[in-house]
């Protein structure tokens, strides 16, 4: 019912505006003035409206930033993520500066130079100084952006530390599987020809390096302040491993292994206590409540950032960043339990 009333109100408003325009035209004709004739008074009014519009526009932009800022990502939770954020903010600072200055000048000139009777524009075909200014200044700014960008890119794509933790992420429609290198920190060999119903990753059982590998689904655990090197494979189509809070992304391509590495700097528990995260989760949970969903806590997440099929939206994995002690405790729970020694087992049988 409310939607119907809204539609009716919109239609009536449009009709009212149409009738007002018609009344204005009739009034102009009665005064002996053609409605299409533009006077200096009309131009002056439009110039003032331009000034009012630019003020209202910037107030609207500020309101949007204040009202929807919580929808932005919280602070970067990785070492290289902070560098990327700084580079992004540097670029956005330049864009905002140019955006504000050009719009102020645009609407101010629309006011200052509104149409006047017998006013003629100055013929201005060429000026070497202006050409030099708007060529050299953008070139210098772009050179700074490119040089700083390449420096940042080379730093974050450098070879991973040999002592970094090695984890493989295996993508397929529509889930992720993590394979942790064991004590040797080396992943065992694998081959797509070995994939079966009981060997999803195609692991080679003859590979000694893979004897201590640990396969985990549903959640990914990594250690804070310890570099982790990810190796990505895909079974079917191109997927994209996207860690939004760590500012990291890499394509998972069938038939090849891709890699990236980063060092997480904030644990999940620490991130949940940050004011901006609390505000963000309050907004998200308000939306979830309106939909009838249960509230949720903040969690890092791994997403697929390539549209890979019908259930692409559901291809995600929870990422937990924790301390070394917490990680070791979790890893113990994932290790295969050792069978009882033969002598102890014989004693138990005899006792029964």
Q: pLDDT of the chain along its 352 residues, tens only?
A: 677 888 888 999 999 988 888 887 777 777 666 666 778 888 888 999 999 999 999 999 999 988 887 778 888 999 999 999 999 999 999 999 999 999 999 999 999 888 888 777 778 788 888 899 989 999 999 999 999 889 888 888 888 888 899 999 999 999 999 999 988 888 899 888 888 888 888 898 888 888 889 999 889 999 999 999 999 999 999 999 999 999 999 999 998 999 999 999 999 999 999 988 888 888 889 888 888 888 889 999 999 999 999 999 999 999 999 999 999 999 988 877 654 444 443 344 344 4
3-state SS class at 173 = coil
Q: Strands 239-243, 228-234: parallel, antiparallel or unpaired by DSSP? A: unpaired
- 217, 190: one domain: yes
Q: What is the pLDDT of residues 191-232, one digit of tens each?
A: 888 888 888 888 988 888 888 899 998 899 999 999 999 999
- 203, 73: one domain: no
Measure the CA–CA gap between 261 and 73, rounded to whole angstroms. Answer: 20
Q: Of the residues 137, 158, 179, which one is the last residue of a structural domain?
A: 158
Compute φ and ψ for 240, nearest 5 degrees.
Answer: -140, 115
Measure the CA–CA gap between 195 and 170, rounded to whole angstroms. Answer: 12
- 52, 184: one domain: no
Q: Token digits for 203?
A: 């692991």
Measure the CA–CA gap between 156 and 154, rounded to whole angstroms. Answer: 6
**Does 351 map to a domain?**
no
**Does 121 map to a domain?**
no
Measure the CA–CA gap between 185 and 191, rounded to whole angstroms. Answer: 19
Which structural domain, as residue segments, surrounds residue 90?
Answer: 39-116+129-158
Measure the CA–CA gap between 267 and 224, rounded to whole angstroms. Answer: 6
**Does 340 map to a domain?**
no
Measure the CA–CA gap between 308 and 304, rounded to whole angstroms. Answer: 8
**Does 327 map to a domain?**
yes
- 142, 234: one domain: no
- 173, 285: one domain: yes
Q: Token digits for 72?
A: 């932005």
- 302, 315: one domain: yes
Measure the CA–CA gap between 100 and 95, rounded to whole angstroms. Answer: 9
**Domains in the chain, number:** 3
Measure the CA–CA gap between 247 and 79, rounded to whole angstroms. Answer: 10
3-state SS class at 310 = coil
**CATH code for the domain of 281:** 2.60.40.420
| Residue 299 Cα distances to 79, 205, 220, 268, 318, angstroms | 19, 35, 11, 7, 7
- 207, 325: one domain: yes
Q: What is the pLDDT of residues 150-189, one digit of tens each?
A: 988 888 888 888 889 999 999 999 999 999 998 888 889 9
**Does 29 map to a domain?**
yes
As beta bridge partners, residue 234 has 171, 254
**Does 178 map to a domain?**
yes
- 204, 265: one domain: yes
- 87, 182: one domain: no
Q: What was the pLDDT predicted at 340?
A: 40
**Does 252 map to a domain?**
yes
In sequence order, the 6+-apart residues with CB closer than 8 A to the CB of 52 are: none
The total of other beta-carbon atoms located within 10 Å of residue 278's CB is: 13
- 182, 330: one domain: yes
Q: Are 232 and 214 in contact (CB under 8 A)?
A: no
- 154, 171: one domain: no
Q: What was the pLDDT predicted at 119?
A: 78
From the list 155, 176, 123, 126, the residue with the least C-alpha distance to 317 is 176
Sign, CA torsion 126/132/134/139? positive
**Does 339 map to a domain?**
no
The runs of H, that is alpha helices, within the chain are 2-30, 40-68, 79-112, 128-156, 268-272, 275-291, 324-334, 342-351
3-state SS class at 213 = coil
- 211, 138: one domain: no
């Amino acid at each position: 019912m409310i939607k119907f009333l809204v539609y009716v109100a919109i239609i009536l408003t449009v009709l009212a505006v149409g009738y007002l325009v018609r009344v204005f035209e009739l009034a102009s004709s009665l005064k002996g003035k053609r409605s299409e004739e533009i006077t200096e008074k009309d131009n002056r009014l439009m110039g003032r409206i331009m000034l009012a519009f630019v003020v209202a526009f910037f107030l609207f932009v500020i309101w949007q930033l204040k009202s929807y800022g919580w929808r932005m990502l919280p602070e970067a939770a990785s070492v290289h993520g902070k560098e990327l954020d700084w580079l992004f903010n540097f670029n956005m600072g330049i864009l905002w500066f140019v955006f504000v200055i050009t719009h102020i000048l645009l609407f101010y000139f629309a006011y200052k130079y509104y149409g006047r009777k017998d006013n003629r524009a100055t013929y201005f075909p060429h000026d070497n100084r202006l050409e030099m200014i708007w060529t050299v200044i953008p070139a210098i700014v772009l050179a700074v952006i490119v040089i700083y960008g390449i420096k940042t890119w080379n730093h974050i794509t450098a070879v991973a530390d040999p002592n970094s933790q090695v984890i493989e992420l295996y993508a397929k429609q529509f889930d992720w599987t993590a394979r942790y290198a064991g004590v040797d920190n080396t992943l065992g060999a694998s081959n797509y020809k070995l994939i079966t119903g009981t060997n999803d990753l195609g692991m080679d059982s003859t590979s000694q390096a893979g004897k201590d590998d640990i396969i985990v689904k549903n959640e990914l655990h990594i250690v804070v302040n310890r570099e982790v090197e990810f190796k990505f494979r895909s079974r079917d189509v191109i997927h994209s491993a996207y860690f939004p809070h760590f500012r990291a992304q890499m394509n998972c391509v069938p038939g090849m292994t891709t890699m990236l590495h980063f060092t997480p700097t904030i644990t999940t528990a620490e991130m949940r206590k940050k004011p901006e995260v609390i505000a963000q989760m309050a907004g998200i949970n308000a939306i979830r409540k309106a939909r009838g969903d249960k509230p949720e806590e903040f969690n890092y997440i791994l997403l697929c950032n390539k549209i890979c099929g019908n259930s692409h939206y559901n291809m995600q994995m929870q990422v937990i960043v924790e301390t070394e002690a917490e990680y070791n405790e979790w890893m113990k729970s994932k290790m295969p339990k050792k069978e009882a020694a033969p002598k102890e087992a014989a004693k138990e049988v005899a006792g029964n």
